[in-house]
Every structure is written in C-alpha cells, then in structure tokens.
Structure 1
Amino acid sequence: MQSVSSTTSPLIIAGFQALSDPLRIQVLELLRSQELCVCELCEHLGTTQSKLSFHLKALKEAELVRARQQGRWIYYSLNLSQFVVLEQYLSEYRRFSPILPTRVCRDEV
C-alpha cells in the first residue's frame, strides 16, 4: 500500500484542508461572484481582519484564492484552476473505484 504523502500532491492536501473550515467556505462563497477586498470580506462575515487574515493565508497557500494589491487594499478572487485540480482528483475516485454500486437503468426496473 502506498502512503498518502507519496501519492498525493501537497497542494491537493492543502486544498482539502483549506476547504475543511466553515469560515473559509463562507469566504469562497462570497468570492464566487466577485472580487472583494479584505474590508468587504470582514464586513460580510462579521469578523475581524486579524481573524480573517489567518484564513485567507490558508486559502492562498492552497492556491484557492488569488490576491492583488491596489493601493493600500488587497483584493481577493477565486483561483478557478485550482478548483479544477481538486475536482479532477476527486473524479478519479468516481471513475476507478471498484466499490461503486452498479448503476441500473430505470427502464430495467
């Protein structure tokens, strides 16, 4: 049996760890439709900038969000290509798993 660390990219692991926190999920939901600055995220989430910075760091390290600075503000947006990487990783389980139930056509029932 192969160990997880030898078969799974650290970026995949970081991505799923980042997705495991409810506040981070809320951040991603807010960024689905538009780029937002830290102050706007804090306002929508009702949290402090120091608390949010910790979560944004995890999302950036997992490459789920991108940051760009404009003046004194940092704006965040989704990095959709990293979501595709995670989706492709999960699709391998669906595609090659021997334990998936067999599908029955509705016409056969």
Structure 2
Amino acid sequence: MASRNPMAADEVGRCCALTTGPLDADTADRIAGMLKALSDPTRLRLLSHVAAQGCESVCACDLAAPLGITQPTVSHHMKKLVDAGLLTREQRGRWAHYTIVAPAFAELSAFLDIA
C-alpha cells in the first residue's frame, strides 16, 4: 500500500531532524524564553524593525509611530525582548537605543535549521 504522505523518505528525515541534536536543559530554557518572547505579534514586529537595521541601534523614539502603538507599550515589549536575550538596551539621554544580539539569532537559527 502506498504511503499517504506525499513527502519522500529523505525529505521527511531532513524536515524533522534537529541538526544540532537533543537540547540540554539550559539550552532548552534559553531557546524557550526567546520563542516565548517572539510569540507576541507586537514584539515580533518590534524585533523585525530593529533587525532590519542590521548592526545599527534603533531609538525607541522611532518605533511607536510605525507600529501604531504608544511609547509605554514600546517600552513594555522591548523590556521583554531584552530580558529574553534578543536585544541589548543602551540609555542615551532620555531615549533607549536597542541593538540585536547576534549570537541569540545564531542560536535560534541553528535550532530552527534556517541558516
């Protein structure tokens, strides 16, 4: 009897296998924290705006208007992204500036095998 799965056997193995192997407890906790932070659509959009700048920092003052949210909402969500290890925060005068944490993105990329 033919398989109902239209994927070839080699595609199934490649699709479902973790290339990095099973996760240890610390790595699983760290990646789960990042994924939890990214599960909120507003945080995902904020992160994408910062990531679009590459290695350049982004001022919090430049994030509220493009996303149609208030500054307190930006601050709340950015704190969650910083706490998850996805962004760094630097205070410059009255404004916070955020930068991507490249190693965190590399770890997520390796886990998701999208590198």
Determine whether 1:15 maps to 2:34. yes
Task: Report 1:1-109 matches (<5 A).
Answer: 6=25, 8-34=27-53, 35-91=57-113
CA RMSD, Structure 1 to Structure 2 (Å): 2.2
Question: Structure 2, unaligned stretches of length 5 or more?
Answer: 1-22
**1:32-89, CA deviations, whole angstroms, 9 ceiling, x for partnerless residues?**
2322211111121111121122211110011111111111211012112101111222
Q: State the 4+ residue runs in structure 1 displaced beyond 4 angstroms.
A: none
Aligned residue pairs: how many? 89
Q: Secondary structure at the match of 2:96?
A: strand
How much identity, in percent, do the aligned residues show? Answer: 35
Letter in 2 for 1:11: R
Alpha-carbon distance change, 7 to 75 in structure 1, aligned in 2, over 3 angstroms = closer
- Aligned equivalents of 2:105 and 2:74: distance in 1? 21
Question: Structure 1, unaligned stretches of length 5 or more?
Answer: 95-109
TM-score by length of 1: 0.70
Letter in 1 for 2:45: Q
